[in-house]
C-alpha cells in the first residue's frame, strides 16, 4: 500500500469561509474526506495535516523520509516565500506534487513565483478542490509506474480555469 503525506499550508483551515470567489466553497474537511475516499479506491493510505507554521510543515516534510512514498503539498502563501520548505522537499527527495486551488499565474505578480515548483514532480493550479484529487491520482500513478522515490526528471505544470465539484 502506498503511503502519501498531504500537507495544507497557512489559512487553508479557513476554506469555505474565505474569499469564495477565489478559493471556492469546499471546506478543508470536505477536501480531506474526498482525498481519503479516493485514497481508499487507489490503495493509498493518506496522512493529512494542516499548519499555519512554516517550521511545523518543514518538520513533517523531513519526517516523511521514513515510511512515505510521496507528498502532496499546498504550501499556500509559503509557496512564494519559503526557501525552507523548498529545501526540505529537495532533501527528502520524494515525488511531490504542488497544489493550488486558484491559478496562481492569473493572480497578483508576487504569487506567480513558486519556490516549490522547482523541486516538485508537477504543479496543479486553478482547478479548485478537484486539484487535490488530480494530484493524488497522478502521484499514485507515477509512484506505481516508476517504483521510484525520486522526484527528478523535471517539472510539469497543469493549470486551468476554476471548476466546481460536488463534495
Cell of 6: 498531504
Q: What is the DSSP letter of 149?
A: -
- CB neighbours of 139 closer than 8 A, spacing ≥ 6? 4, 70, 72, 95, 97, 121
Give how many domains the chain has, as a whole number.
1
Q: Does 71 reside within a domain?
A: yes
Q: Does 91 reside within a domain?
A: yes
**How much is the pLDDT for 106?**
81
Q: How far apart are CA 96 and CA 101, in angstroms?
A: 16
Quickly list DSSP for 86-136.
HHHHHHHT--EEEEESS-GGGS-GGGG--SSGGGSSEEEESSTTHHHHHHH
**How much is the pLDDT for 149?**
54
Active-site residue list: 23, 100
Domain hosting 46: range is 2-159
Q: Does 31 reside within a domain?
A: yes
Q: How far apart are CA 95 and CA 120, in angstroms?
A: 7
Q: How far apart are CA 98 and CA 75, in angstroms?
A: 8
**How much is the pLDDT for 165?**
37
- CB neighbours of 103 closer than 8 A, spacing ≥ 6? 125, 126, 159, 160, 161, 162
pLDDT digits (tens, 9 = 90+) for 114-153: 999 999 999 999 999 999 999 999 999 999 998 855 433 3
The CATH number of the domain where 134 resides is what? 3.40.50.9100
Q: Does 164 reside within a domain?
A: no
pLDDT digits (tens, 9 = 90+) for 71-86: 999 999 999 999 999 9
Q: Does 165 reside within a domain?
A: no
Amino acid at each position: 500500500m502506498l503511503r502519501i503525506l498531504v500537507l495544507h499550508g497557512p489559512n487553508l483551515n479557513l476554506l469555505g469561509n474565505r474569499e469564495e470567489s477565489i478559493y471556492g466553497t469546499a471546506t478543508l474537511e470536505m477536501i480531506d474526506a474526498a482525498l481519503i475516499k479516493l485514497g481508499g479506491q487507489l490503495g493509498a493510505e493518506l496522512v493529512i495535516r494542516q499548519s499555519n507554521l512554516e517550521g511545523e510543515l518543514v518538520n513533517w516534510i523531513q519526517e516523511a523520509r521514513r515510511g512515505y512514498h510521496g507528498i502532496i503539498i499546498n504550501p499556500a502563501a509559503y509557496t512564494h516565500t519559503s526557501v525552507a520548505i523548498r529545501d526540505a522537499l529537495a532533501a527528502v527527495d520524494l515525488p511531490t506534487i504542488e497544489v493550488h486551488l486558484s491559478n496562481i499565474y492569473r493572480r497578483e505578480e508576487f504569487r506567480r513565483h513558486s519556490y516549490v515548483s522547482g523541486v516538485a514532480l508537477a504543479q496543479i493550479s486553478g482547478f479548485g478542490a478537484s486539484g487535490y484529487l488530480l494530484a493524488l491520482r497522478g502521484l499514485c500513478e507515477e509512484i506505481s509506474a516508476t517504483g521510484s522515490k525520486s522526484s527528478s526528471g523535471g517539472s510539469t505544470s497543469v493549470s486551468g480555469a476554476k471548476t466546481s465539484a460536488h463534495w
